[in-house]
Structure 1
Amino acid sequence: MGFVHVHLIPYVHDVGFTHMTNAGAQFLLALVSIAAALMTGRVSDRIGRRRPMSLTFSWRGLAYFGFMMLALWPSPLLLYAAVICMGLSWSSTVSLLATTCADLYGRRSQGSVFGVVFGVMNWSAALGAWLPGYLFDVTNSYQSALLANVLVAWVASGVVLWLSEWWRPQQQMVGTAD
């Protein structure tokens, strides 16, 4: 996600979009992200965590693939499709990871476990901002960084789908502790 935080706006501008189109795409990404986070949490409470998490990583890979294709076909339709895919995956991972931590380690440990997971996510985002910048400096292109993001996202999607389901529906009672 570091690429999106740091490099997406200059990349979209470099492939020929106006500042207004770029701003509209960023706004759409944010709106879809909020809706997707709420929807993903609700869906995962009903069907489990594994399939929504795998789908989230698939959407992310598809978004990065769309960003790659913008260099070949810089159309607003492709830009908006890619940011919608990114929005579907952006905040969804947070709700899925938080609930997964609770599922696997219990609510009493959720704060500690999710704190470690979220810390690793931030270090990964920092690397995801630095590495594309380095690759851009070396190659004068973002394509290798985008391809790496596509591959990582789709491998993550496959790995999560390959895992056995760890979520079990439980009757939640108000006022009880794990």
Structure 2
Amino acid sequence: MHATKKRSPWMLLICFGMILFLCIGQRHSFGLYLRPMTMDMGWSRATFSFAIALQNLVWGISQPFTGMLADRYGAKRVMLLGGVCYALGLFGMSVSSNGVALASSAGLLIGIAQSCTGFGIVYGAVGKLFTGEKRGTALGVVGAFGSLGQFVMLPASQSLISHLGWAAALLTAAGLCFLIVPLTFGTSASAAKKPDTHEQSLGEALRQAFRHKGFWFLTLGFFACGFQLAFIATHLPAYLADKGLSPTVGVTALAIVALANIVGTYLCGYFGEKVSKKYLLAAIYALRAIALATYVMVPASPMTTYIFAAVMGLIWLGTVPLSSGVVGQIFGYQYITTLYGFVFLSHQIGSFLGVWLGGVLFDMTGNYLAVWAIAIGLSVFALIVSYPIDDRSIQIRPQVANA
């Protein structure tokens, strides 16, 4: 780790991890609001789905730009802004009276907030602070906090919705997410420093990445990941309720995903420093294809759902430290936050389509079968494009000053 006199490595990891805990934990709770909000407000599922889909799209579109700000001015300032936007967005969502207000709060504001406090910024900062084998372990630890947030906040959100109603639950969530603001002061300002001595410009780094086939293969594969995770996180509770299962089954399933993901994310970060990251990514997409196809073909029950959740949980967010690691392995860590931001944009375009198409195709057909089929096909596609990624480190071309 790069020297920092102010805070211990574990204190840094805890603060970064708790920011992800709140960001990702709340992000995966939005699916619990789909049925109560649409039923109370008389909205279609497409209306709610569009707002959450927009959230994912805004997150993706803004990620390269928040990444540039973090690379230039430091992650701390960006995360602080994100904490404020998260709290305001959840408050606005709680008082939304129509689809436009919901899209503005749940979509625009929270999308920007997640861009500032999610994996792109946090992983970029941690990747700069830790070096060598410690980097993979540190990313795994921080990622596990995000999974723990999902595990804790899902049942907590469901309990609040059941006892206080969805509006009060959102207000409570707004207060919790505002805690991101003080947590940012526990992170290190050294996250803004460039760990490499190369004097490469940002423009040259982007041109070098955009000319690299492996960068585009990784980006295309990440599209599939976003589609699958966003669809399942948002629509699985409603899918199970449509099958006649208790709402508790959906909450429990997503909690199992989160619990298994604590282990899975850490292991992916750890083994990503031991074996080829691209092969681990290909293996994850292959396992997802098998898990998705098997789950759709068997009758839905609590037991089959919990098994599916456990399998998916082990490979849920493991793609994030691996994909970020591939970018850093190829291009170095000087502009990792910005470069990963463009990869993550593809993930969020997939997330937008996964959430939005889930609502639209359900309203058109009365079921989710078509969306499950698309998710399975995308797993196969991601497997195919991940395998040939050239993940060898390239020579960093520094900016040449004019004579």
Q: Letter of the 1:128 partner, please give it.
A: G
Hey, what does 1:119 align to over in structure 2? 345
Q: Letter of the 1:50 partner, please give it.
A: K
Deviation for aligned residue 1:160: 1.4
1:144 is aligned to 2:357: no
Counterpart among 234, 241, 252 of residue 24 in structure 1: 252
Deviation for aligned residue 1:23: 1.8
Check the 8 A contact 1:104/1:166 in 2, yes or no.
yes
Q: Secondary structure at the match of 2:272?
A: helix
Larger Rg: 2
> What is the CA deviation profile of residues 6-64 of structure 1, one whole-angstrom value per residue up to 9, with x for unaligned ones?
11110012122212222221110001112111101111211111221011112222332
Pairs aligned (count)? 165
Given the two structures, how large is their TM-score scaled by the length of structure 2? 0.39
Check the 8 A contact 1:63/1:83 in 2, yes or no.
no
Check the 8 A contact 1:131/1:145 in 2, yes or no.
yes
Given the two structures, how large is their TM-score scaled by the length of structure 1? 0.84
1:91 is aligned to 2:337: no
1:78 is aligned to 2:304: yes
Consecutive unaligned residues of structure 2, counting only runs of 5 or more, are 1-228, 394-403
Hey, what does 1:166 align to over in structure 2? 391
Q: Secondary structure at the match of 2:279?
A: helix
Q: Map residues 3-82 of structure 1 onto 2, 5 A cutoff.
A: 3-70=231-298, 73-82=299-308
RMSD (Å) for aligned C-alpha atoms: 1.7
Q: Letter of the 2:346 partner, please give it.
A: V
Check the 8 A contact 2:261/2:316 in 1, yes or no.
yes
CA distance, structure 2, for counterparts of residue 12 and residue 96 of structure 1: 31
CA distance, structure 1, for counterparts of residue 263 and residue 244 of structure 2: 29
Counterpart among 107, 110, 134 of residue 333 in structure 2: 107
Consecutive unaligned residues of structure 1, counting only runs of 5 or more, are 169-178
CA distance, structure 1, for counterparts of residue 287 and residue 310 of structure 2: 9
Q: Secondary structure at the match of 1:102?
A: helix
Q: Letter of the 1:16 partner, please give it.
A: G
Check the 8 A contact 1:54/1:160 in 2, yes or no.
yes
Deviation for aligned residue 1:69: 2.5
Q: Secondary structure at the match of 2:334?
A: coil
Identity of matched residues, %:
24
Deviation for aligned residue 1:80: 1.5
Q: Letter of the 2:260 partner, please give it.
A: V
- After superposition, the Cα gap between the structure-2 partners of 1:164 and 1:117, relative to the gap in structure 1 and judged at 3 Å, is closer
Check the 8 A contact 1:41/1:96 in 2, yes or no.
yes
Deviation for aligned residue 1:119: 2.5
Check the 8 A contact 2:231/2:355 in 1, yes or no.
yes
CA distance, structure 2, for counterparts of residue 82 and residue 167 of structure 1: 35
CA distance, structure 2, for counterparts of residue 27 and residue 44 of structure 1: 25
CA distance, structure 2, for counterparts of residue 115 and residue 42 of structure 1: 22
CA distance, structure 2, for counterparts of residue 65 and residue 159 of structure 1: 20
Check the 8 A contact 1:28/1:83 in 2, yes or no.
yes
Q: Letter of the 2:357 partner, please give it.
A: L
CA distance, structure 2, for counterparts of residue 36 and residue 117 of structure 1: 21
CA distance, structure 2, for counterparts of residue 114 and residue 41 of structure 1: 16
CA distance, structure 1, for counterparts of residue 255 and residue 378 of structure 2: 25
> Which deviates more, 118-127 or 6-15?
118-127
Hey, what does 1:172 align to over in structure 2? none
Check the 8 A contact 1:59/1:88 in 2, yes or no.
no
CA distance, structure 2, for counterparts of residue 164 and residue 107 of structure 1: 19
> What is the CA deviation profile of residues 113-149 of structure 1, one whole-angstrom value per residue up to 9, with x for unaligned ones?
0112123212221111001211111111101110110
